[in-house]
Amino acid sequence: EAQVTQNPRYLITVTGKKLTVTCSQNMNHEYMSWYRQDPGLGLRQIYYSMNVEVTDKGDVPEGYKVSRKEKRNFPLILESPSPNQTSLYFCASSIDRASTDTQYFGPGTRLTVL
Amino acid sequence: AQSVTQLDSHVSVSEGTPVLLRCNYSSSYSPSLFWYVQHPNKGLQLLLKYTSAATLVKGINGFEAEFKKSETSFHLTKPSAHMSDAAEYFCVHLSGGYNKLIFGAGTRLAVHP
């Protein structure tokens, strides 16, 4: 089954404790991205990647890092989480940059930073 | 700057009555516009998309949207609501650089028996 998976689905952590949210897709997609969803703000893009070893900042990259060492994986790293990073996070992928109109979304990761 | 405005944060309808979710966009050129749906505790799913072909776009689950350039609108409609339509709906614009989607704030649709 074609899908985007994220782990963990739920995470409660404390300020300053490094964490990684994994994202994996099995569709051989080139383009992957991370979004955060906050009430009243819709989804905002954090980082995106157009292919292996090619990443770039989205609209709200501060406090986040990403890597793209393999085509299928695109982990989101919070080196020193803060409470304002409490949010619902979505990973998404599409065939390529030109097909970002049809993105496949993961199920989401709900992060709480205390 | 490109933007998307969803005019209602919450919409409540009775089952079997029409649904109207309103969206206005801001763009200096012909836009690509979409509606996504998010059911509780689920990821987002593409409902329909407009890419400058027909102005009336049909999507899944009986939804459709009409692109009106003169009104800069892309409202989502459905003739008869089902309980399963209760979800959050996002109007989305594809940026000119073709590398990201710009989301509206979302409209939460409630459907009552």
Our CA-based measurement puts residue A5 at a distance from the nearest CA of chain B, in whole angstroms, of: 10
Is residue A35 left, alpha or beta, with left meaning phi > 0 and alpha meaning psi from -120 to 50?
A: beta
Residue with tokens 């609209």: A59
Choose the mutation target among B91, B99, B102 for the interface with A, i.e. most A CBs under 10 Å: B99
Distance CA B90, CA B88 (A): 7
Sheet holding A4-7, edge to edge: A4-7, A19-25, A76-78, A65-66
Q: What is the pLDDT of residue B95?
A: 73
Q: What is the pLDDT of residue B88?
A: 95
By CA distance, what is A110's nearest residue in B?
A: B41
Choose the mutation target among B44, B49, B98, B103 for the interface with A, i.e. most A CBs under 10 Å: B44
Return the CA Rg of chain B. 13
Considering only CB atoms, A90 lies closest to which of B4, B43, B51, namely B43
How, if at all, do strands B10-14 and B107-112 pair? parallel
Across chain A, mean pLDDT equals 93
Q: Do residue A100 and residue B45 have CB atoms under 8 angstroms apart? A: no
Q: Do residue B99 and residue A100 have CB atoms under 8 angstroms apart? A: yes
Residue count of chain B: 113
What average pLDDT does range B83-109 have in this prediction?
Answer: 86
Share of chain B above pLDDT 90, in %: 65
Burial class (CB in 10 A: 0-12, 13-18, 19+), A85: buried
Q: Do residue A107 and residue B43 have CB atoms under 8 angstroms apart? A: yes
**Residue A66: helix, strand or coil by DSSP?**
strand
Q: What is the pLDDT of residue B1?
A: 64
Q: What is the pLDDT of residue B27?
A: 73
